[in-house]
Structure 1
Amino acid sequence: MALPILILHAPGTNRDGDAAHAISLAGGEPVICPLTTLKAEKTPWTNFAMLVLPGGFSYGDALGAGRLLALDLQTWFSDQLQEFVLSGRPVIGICNGFQALVKAGVLPGDGITATLTFNANGQFECRWVTLCPNPQNPSPWLEDLPPLTCPVAHGEGRFLTPEGTALPPQQIALTYVLPDGSPAGETYPANPNGSPGDVAGITNPAG
């Protein structure tokens, strides 16, 4: 029996169809659910095996990319989201979904704060990049994952933590690298947004 996978849809989300297709290919049962439906029906999130926050431009990026979606998560779904995370069920935020999880304080976790802010060059970046998984990260998302080339499209992708606060190395999931696999060294365009340490993706301490 296919496991049901919850895909959140906010106004402006536009990659939920892609996420659903990927889940179907992997043998899951995607369930795209608008936030308004979740609010009205009070659907228990624990009915689902996994949570996906897909990409797009939720709420038109008003007040910042992912910010209003993050406020929805904090205001309406904080208890359900916390229960879901603590249960050990997998959660993934892709692009705008990742921005929302960071701005909602779900990531990085363990009391560390972070944000995703404007690209260092002040421009919207739409290009292909090369990413390398971090072998120190124990996440099942990264198991047997080779370096990959994938598209990015964002104006607020620079991952920052407060000055003097370092993210534990094992929480870094993906880094930007050169096409030959060597570190990008925070150089453009291999690192399209200027994230210190070439950070492209993170996990919570549990992976």
Structure 2
Amino acid sequence: MAFRVSAGDVSGFKFLLFLTIMYGLMSILVYYILHMKLIQPLGFDAPVDRFSEARAIEHVRVLSKDGRQEGRPGLKQAALYIKEQLEMIKERADPNFRIEIEETVINGSFNMVFLGHSISLGYRNHLNIVMRISSADSQDTDPSVLINGHFDSPLGSPGAGDCGSCVASILEISRLIVDSGWIPPRPIIFLFNGAEELFLLV
């Protein structure tokens, strides 16, 4: 008696083989993820030429202490804190750096359509803070890299994630550049804007 394999048996076998291979690959992936070595976060005592999670988290803690919503005192306090940190970085900078810090106060209005409705918004005295780090011989017209974060926070939130962590990372990166003595080949502009949550005003 001859043993015969139907076309249905072959396709079923191929499907089971496919499932077995997929299960094996997924098992290897899960094992790798569970046992991979993660980078150890660095504390306050980390060398100055390394990014320190603890220093960045301290910025987040300070920034998320008071609400940073439009019209609240915490927004102005956040701007003062950021400016103070940037000034401290500038004071420590080597003479081979050219560091410029500027504040701009923005006023204006605009109309936009949102969810099918026309909305008009007016705003006054919104603050942006800009720091430009470049080599001492850089020109104002040199192409630059922009790194941006906003220091206001959404209503009802301390804003640690949106966007205190962005601002903290930018502060720590700017500190790292200056303290490590690394002079970027192109100017880097760090922009801290103060009214992103209200329909990206500034």
What's the TM-score bracket when you normalise by the shorter of the two chains? under 0.3
| Structure with more of its chain in helix, by fraction | 2
- Larger-gyration structure (1/2): 2
Greater relative contact order, per chain length (Cα 8 Å cut-off, separation 6+): 2
